[in-house]
A and B are shown apart, each in its own frame.
Chain A
Amino acid sequence: MSQDQLADLSRLLYSPVTLLLYVSAAIVCLYSLTTRAAVLTRKGRPAGQFLLRVGLALSWTAVAAHVTHEVVRGLAQSRLPLGNMFEFTSLMALAGAVAGLVYLTIVRKRPELVGFVMLGAAVVVSSAMLTYADPGPLMPILDTWWRSFHVSVIVIAAGIFTVGFLFNGLHLLRDTAEQGLADARASARTGGVTAASGSGDSRGGLATLTAEGEVSGRVMPDEDHVGAAGPVEAERGAMRAAISPLRLAVGTFLGTSTVSWVFIATPTTTMREGITRALTVNLTLVAVALIARWFVPFLPQAATLDGLAYRTIALAFFAWTFGVIAGAMWAEQSWGRFWGWDPKETASFLTWIAYAAYLHARATRGTRGRGAAWIGIGAFAVLMFTYYAVNLVFVGLHSYAGLS
């Protein structure tokens, strides 16, 4: 095949094939999560088991398609696909998907959460299309073994950080929901006075459940009552009700805006295009947050999610540290100084500080739990700022976005 055909093929593999596979894997896995919680098959197994297997198969196929895309793109331009922002974002999604899949299915054996990772991968994969660039050669200054090493470590770390951010966000949602449920139970227990004010059936359902399965004010209805179909529905409602959709949507919109303004400020795009991009990103993430809110009752307990977030972020922190050190070594080779406070270097240091703060907060009494999770969310915003703002807006030695 000629280079042009390979380029076309790589694009085809990326945009409809990989993206659709990620989306369908996400849908199937998430749907299986809702069914396995309560419904049992005739053989007595949770109903979602088969669906989950289908979803996992789809997930691995999506990853395989993504890897094929990377290989074909590499062949089309006769170099590693690590030269511009599109390629970085693509590899970031791949790294996150692989890390999440391996970690959840093989290490922690919680395959039911794969759907969220696939959803995240789909979002990152489509966000890469915002900075799409056709395959092309590389500047000679960038064409070294050191660069490939430094960039791939950094990008993989960013992908794993993204998975950590996902768990952090789910942890915060689930934590709020658990508190809300505990409050709802407490008020249901304090008597029929409040029951009159609420909608009758849901209150009744709650009241029947207050007696059992409560550990230090927190609850895990799905794990305690597998198969007990009836009143669980009311609990789900209470958990969802604890998270105000309006506040969640506005908060996500504002939070995303801390990074997405970059698309408006990018000098190479028009104002109109920039606003469209920023709004697309914001609204997509708002939609994802609302979807996640709906799935809150099916999530594992907040403490589990917190642990997952910590584990992933710890691994990514190690990789990031290693990547930054490798970057300094490359800078010494290439630019004749190991550290020059170039905007990108400064920003990667800032990201390092932010995640170090997360790890320290998690080890500190008083900031553990929600406090640490919020720092983790902020750290991810810093990471995205490092990635997008410094590449697109601030001029420095790392201006390699490949956009014109």
Chain B
Amino acid sequence: MSRTDSAAPPEANPQVRPPRRGGDGPLGFVWSSVVMGWRWLVRMRTALYLLGLLGLETLIATVVPQEPNVAATVDAWRTGAEGPGTLVSGLIDLVGGYDVYGSPAFLALLLLLFLSLTACLIPRIRAWVRLVRYSRPPLTRSAGRQEVVARLTTSRGVDEAHRAAADLLRANRWRVRTETDAGEDGVVESGPPPQVAAEKGLWSREGGSLLFHLSFYVLLAAIVFGQLLSFEGQRAVVEGERFADTPVSYWTYGPGRWWGEDSHRGWILDLEQFHVDWVRDPLAPGAGQPTLFRSDVEVTRPDGSTRQTVIEGNRPLVVDGMKIHQLDWGYAPLVQVEVDGELVYEDYLTATATDAGHFRAAVKAPSADPDLGMSVFFYPYAPDNEAGEPVPTGAPFADAPLVLFQLFRGDLQLGRTPQTINELDTSALESAGGAWLREGAEVDMGDGVVVRFVELRRWVGFQVSARPQIPYLLLASGMLLAGLWPALYAFRRRLWVVAERDPGSGHTIVTVAGRAFQRPQAFDDEHAAFVTRLARHLDATPSDADDPDRILEPVSEEME
């Protein structure tokens, strides 16, 4: 490599910038663009901008309802029934604000963030590995000029002082380097004097930061593979009934792409009883709040072994690696409908709670001619008044259950319009009157229709999930926290111990100098403690620490 001659004119010297690798053609342009883009990505400022963008996206996701969570609210916002109106709604849709975390913009941002992270980390990891493998504590030329200095005077020899200091430092897990061959008399014309140099916190701080940032890759991998391998399904079960872990028995079925039908374990769950209770005293604090949700279940494994157990809100049941959660519950009145003496409907309704305190369900009997539908309101507590009429209340406990319904005939439009199990599409139906029923009673609606409310049970909504990614998520969290602590709290500092013979008194003067790259306060204490310990080992006395050489530099509080 040719040297630069600073005395020569610029033209005579070699070019500072090496020639472009891709030449000057279109390929060269592409190459230089890539290089520039990479340099842009490596900058910390870019990472800050990207973090800001991520924050903005997250803010939108916080303020705007998200389609995967609350699809109904999003529909209401889109139609203008709720929210800021259709114009704003259209704008939100334009930027993908209703599904931020599924939008292409978010994916692009995530990609950029990880690219930037990678671009930052590769040189840092290389530098760190080099540091760990090759670095040695640097020597000091004049210990007296360091930021923190203390001096001791002892009658012990120079070598003994160095040895004692090195032993003490090693015992405290400092990385120690001893230089003793700088000359017999300890004074060398050029070059550092004999000394013990030590360093600490060099790997841990940067290493912690690297571990913290590397945990994001583990996190990302766990989330991506989790999406592919996981399974989640829901199913409502009425007391006394059962369901098996087979693909067809779930009401909502959400398998990952790599979840096959044979991945199901095939256990059977019997719901024996569901317990629910509330604070019933209307004057007690928290009146009406629920106090108990518990399902008594029996699980039958494929090998035939059975187990009695309970599932509670915070205590899911784990069967063969699948978690069974109790998500929601409701009342399940058994309703029979006869048309002209023929049973057209008999089932437990899964009535779901409404904000008003009552429960809603629907009866759909397409086997009647014409179709028969019922919109059902269930009131758990509707006591009689003096006239013997039921008075519906919003209380949730089933002390005086009442079924209120409206009967419809016509076309249910099953399979043609979107409707949930508890919703009736009344657009092609005609009302045929309404009535109320107590448990065990029946009512004749005319036209040969008889409705019976046979008995009352409860149903529980179970969620079954298999998430093989959880151990890896925990691993990522562990890495994150394990890295974060040293990244924030480890600090890098250096110590030098220089022992010199004082020709005047014949004593040995030991200078303990130090420099902290972060957290100078913590280092001051550490330095003082070390000086005290060293003095005890050497039977030394502190001498005047103020040295004319010492430069008083203002140290800023934090240097990271």
Contact = CB atoms under 8 A, between A and B. Distances in A.
B488 A139 contact: no
B558 A140 contact: no
A270 B488 CA distance: 45
A333 B314 contact: yes
B293 interface: yes
Interface string A70-103: 0000000100000000000000000000000000
Contacts of A304: 557
B551 interface: no
Contacts of A361: 48
Interface in B48-64: 48, 51-52, 54-55, 58-59, 61-63
Nearest to A364: B44
B101 A317 contact: no
Nearest to A137: B286
A325 B479 CA distance: 12
Contacts of B59: 350
Interface in B475-493: 477, 480-481, 484-485, 488-489
A342 interface: yes
Contacts of A356: 51
Interface residues of A, number: 63
Given A140-B313, A360-B48, A332 B470 contact: yes
Given A318-B484, A338-B473, A357 B285 contact: no
B314 to A, nearest CB: 4
B285 A341 contact: no
B313 A362 contact: no
A146 B62 contact: no
A108 interface: yes
B69 interface: yes
Contacts of B312: 140
B44 A333 contact: no
B210 interface: no
B488 A314 contact: yes
Contacts, number: 130
B521 A108 contact: yes
Nearest to A345: B62
A77 B489 CA distance: 39
A337 B48 contact: no
A340 interface: yes
A87 to B, nearest CB: 14
A120 interface: no
Given A353-B55, A364-B48, A325 B481 contact: yes
Given A338-B473, A360-B51, A367-B48, A135 B69 contact: no
Contacts of A132: none
A205 interface: no
Contact of B69 (A147, A310, A341): A341
Contacts of B285: 77, 134-137
Given A318-B481, A346-B61, A364 B557 contact: no
Contact of A321 (B51, B286, B289, B481): B481
A389 B327 CA distance: 26
A361 B489 CA distance: 17
Interface in B85-130: 101
B314 A146 contact: yes
Nearest to A343: B62
Contact of A357 (B51, B473, B477): B51
Interface string A307-346: 1101100110110011001001010111111101111001
B290 interface: yes
Contacts of A334: 313-314, 325
Contacts of A321: 480-481, 484
Contacts of A349: 58
B196 to A, nearest CB: 30
B558 A307 contact: yes
Contact of A340 (B69, B313, B465): B69
A215 B554 contact: yes
A303 B556 contact: yes
Contacts of A140: 290-293, 312-313
A360 B473 contact: no
B20 interface: no
Contacts of A337: 232, 465
A303 B557 contact: yes
A310 B491 CA distance: 14
Contacts of B463: 336
A390 interface: yes
A205 B528 CA distance: 40
Contacts of B325: 334-336
23 contacts: A134-B285, A137-B285, A139-B290, A141-B313, A304-B557, A307-B558, A318-B481, A318-B484, A318-B485, A318-B488, A321-B480, A328-B477, A332-B467, A333-B314, A336-B327, A338-B467, A338-B470, A353-B54, A353-B58, A357-B55, A359-B488, A360-B47, A366-B45
Interface of A: 77, 108, 134-141, 143-144, 146-147, 215-216, 303-304, 306-308, 310-311, 314-315, 317-318, 321-322, 325, 328, 330, 332-338, 340-343, 346-347, 349-350, 353-354, 356-357, 359-364, 366-367, 382, 386, 390, 394
Given A136-B286, A334-B314, A353-B58, 17 more contacts: A137-B285, A141-B314, A143-B314, A338-B473, A341-B66, A341-B101, A343-B62, A349-B58, A350-B58, A350-B59, A350-B62, A356-B51, A357-B55, A359-B488, A361-B48, A367-B48, A386-B62
